[in-house]
């Protein structure tokens, strides 16, 4: 979990920062979705091959390429299904982050109607605003 603090000179500047983050996350999401489609094709091909090998009476190969640590899985030479699962998990997380930032932006937009000059200090946790400190200039 990474925590950062950023300063903004106005609500508009902060909202532009959120918009830029959302755009970047959506771009990354698009790239990941393309990769997932490629992996799904590979998974289907692998299923067909395994089915064919099963009909020939060959035993199903076992997966011994995965090491589970406390907070991370290490997969050596992943099969397409393992890679697909990892990408789908990342996509879900990325999509949740986009939805959360979009909701925060919508809530913060109300503050853009303030006629008073203010500065913002925003405390982020994992690139998501957790606290917005408003200061009068």
Confidence of residue 35 (pLDDT cuts 50, 70, 90): very high
Would 130 be classed as within a structural domain?
no
Measured CA to CA, the distance from residue 84 to residue 35 in angstroms comes to 9
| Confidence check: pLDDT of 17 > 70 | yes
Question: In Å, how far are 55, 100, 104, 109, 119 from 112, measured between CA atoms?
Answer: 66, 19, 13, 5, 12
Instruction: Give me the number of domains the chain comprises.
Output: 1
Measured CA to CA, the distance from residue 73 to residue 94 in angstroms comes to 19
What's the pTM value of the predicted model, to 2 decimals? 0.81
| Confidence check: pLDDT of 25 > 90 | yes
Would 8 be classed as within a structural domain?
no
Would 74 be classed as within a structural domain?
yes
The domain of 22 spans: 14-107
């Amino acid at each position: 979990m990474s925590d950062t603090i950023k300063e903004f000179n106005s609500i508009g500047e902060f909202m532009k920062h959120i918009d830029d983050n959302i755009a970047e996350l959506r771009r990354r999401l698009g790239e990941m979705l393309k990769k997932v489609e490629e992996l799904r094709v590979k998974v289907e091909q692998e299923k067909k091959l395994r089915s064919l090998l099963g009909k020939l009476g060959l035993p199903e190969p076992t997966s011994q390429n995965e090491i589970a640590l406390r907070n991370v899985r290490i997969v050596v030479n992943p099969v397409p299904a393992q890679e697909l699962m990892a990408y789908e998990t990342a996509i879900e997380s990325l999509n949740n982050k986009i939805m959360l930032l979009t909701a925060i932006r919508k809530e913060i937009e109300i503050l853009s109607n303030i006629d008073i000059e203010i500065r913002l200090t925003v405390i982020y946790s994992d690139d998501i605003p957790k606290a917005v400190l408003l200061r009068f200039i």
